[in-house]
A and B are shown apart, each in its own frame.
Chain A
Amino acid sequence: MAIKQRTKSLKARNSELADTFVQLNVLNGKDRVDEKFPSFNKKVADLGFVPFQPTKMEIFQMNVGKMCNQTCAHCHVDAGPDRKEIMTKETMEQCLEVLAKGDFHTVDLTGGAPEMNPHFRWFVEECSKLGLQIIDRCNLTIIVANKKYHDLPEFFAKHKVQVVSSLPYFSASRTDKQRGDGVFEDSIKALKMLNAVGYGVANSGLELNLVYNPTGAFLPGNQASLEQEFKRQLQRKYDIVFNQLYAITNLPISRFLEYLLDSGNYEDYMEKLVNAFNPATVQSVMCRNTISVGWDGFLYDCDFNQMLDLKVAAPKSQHISDFDAKALNDRTIILNQHCYGCTAGAGSSCGGEVV
């Protein structure tokens, strides 16, 4: 069935929150940082991480475009069908030049719906030739959205792509509230197609991991416990199997920030994140071993900094065309109030909990 979009992008609606300065202003409003919410930078500095730097870059994450067939209510990318920003083949070629040097073991493709980039399959094939571990952050519904995508499971399997897919809940009501009416039904169809070629099946070598993120202003519970419940329910109701569940915290930026402000939950949510700050997570946050490449080739510490337009603090290596591994490994990571999202509880990263 066709997905009924919940909204349009902030940009298409001319929302003031489409401006990253406005978002940063909300996060850094004087009354909040200095009085109510302590500065994240200071929190980390107090733990002795001065300056806060990468351990070693290992994961090359690329946002290959903001175009998506869904307009999820919580999307930190502000992606949707109305977004036309797409990574060019030229930028992808520059990425391949960097990847060919062998410093990274994993290339992590995200979007939008990365598969909507016209050069997606070519790029995956090239990465496969380089022997890289490839991750595709697939929204599932793209697989059934159009006939031209129906063979994606076979394509992924051919290149041993690790598929990481969002499924916020094992029932339609909660999933569709976040992602659009009809998304759950299409997601189940797509999961069955992935299972049919071996994804998520024991000893197949084809890894299918699901992403759980809360459908509202609350934090994710224990990842192992949620995984157990998702496995039980998806098997029982739909005969679907998968490997791991990643529990990811929603960061207070972009459309999730809009939801928090509109629903009157912003202050309470920030307070929850701040109160749940776990010092043990700081050394394992993903910005320490990841570099994030934007659709236009600019470099960021993570996908969230990318969406806030906070480019890497390496003045001579801010674009893929000027990629300098040493300068980037020596950089100081840019922190801000949204980073509380990655250090709450057991921590949060693109691979779920960090401790």
Chain B
Amino acid sequence: MSEKTYFNPEDLKKFGNISEFQPEMAKKFFAWYGEVFKEGALTEREKALIALAVAHSEQCPYCIDAYSTACLEKGADEEQMMEAVHVAAAIKSGAALVNSTQMMNHVKKLTM
């Protein structure tokens, strides 16, 4: 028996059930969501890789499971998937570091 934790991978299958508490908004959300991931100017594979990267920066375990599978299904390989996660990590860490210019500005203003 699996250990009980706050995140239960099985709950991903219940995503559609959010309509139970608010059907109209859920209906609109899922219609829009489905449209977003259709092949367009970007391929389905490219969109899945972007989603995988964002899932990591958002640290959403449901999304990580969902888009790891989606990337495999759309034909991405492990190397491409890890590169996508590195892009997310680079932006995340870059976002932290670039704000240090603010810190530097402030420190320089206050110090002799």
Report the Cα distance A229→B74, complex, angstroms.
10
Binds B, one of A87-95, A114-122, A213-221: A213-221
Total contacts A to B, CB within 8 angstroms? 38
Q: Is A225 touching B39 in the complex (CB atoms < 8 A)? A: yes
The 8 A CB mask of A214-253 against B (1 = contact, 0 = none) is 1010111110011011100000000000000000000000
Q: With an 8 A cutoff between CB atoms, is A55 at the interface?
A: no
- Tell whether, in the assembled complex, residue A218 and residue B69 are in contact, meaning their CB atoms are under 8 Å apart: yes
- State how many residues of chain B have any CB contact under 8 Å with chain A: 12
A221 close to B77 (CB less than 8 A): no
Stretch of A34-42, A43-51, A168-176, A329-337 on the interface side: A168-176
Residues of A within 8 A of B73 (CB): 214, 218-221
The CA of A221 and the CA of B44, in the complex, are separated in Å by 9
Q: What 0/1 readout, one digit per residue, does chain A (275-303) give for beta carbons within 8 Å of chain B? A: 00000000000000000000000000000
Interface of B is mostly: helix
Docked CA distance A202–B39 (Å)? 27
Interface contact A169-B45, CB-CB below 8 Å: no
- Is the beta-carbon distance between A218 and B72 smaller than 8 angstroms? yes
Q: How many interface residues does A have (CB within 8 Å)?
A: 17
Q: Write the nearest CB–CB distance from B44 to chain A, whole angstroms.
A: 6
Asked whether A225 lies within 8 Å of B72 as measured between CB atoms, the reply is: no
Those 9 A-B pairs whose CB atoms lie nearest each other, nearest first: A221-B74, A221-B73, A218-B72, A226-B75, A229-B75, A218-B73, A218-B69, A174-B77, A221-B75
Question: B residues within 8 Å of A by Cβ?
Answer: 39, 43-45, 69, 72-75, 77-79
CB<8 Å pairs between A and B, sample of 10: A173-B77, A173-B79, A174-B77, A216-B72, A218-B73, A221-B74, A222-B39, A222-B44, A225-B43, A225-B44
Q: Taking beta carbons and an 8 Å cutoff, which residues of A are in contact with B?
A: 169, 171, 173-174, 212, 214, 216, 218-222, 225-226, 228-230
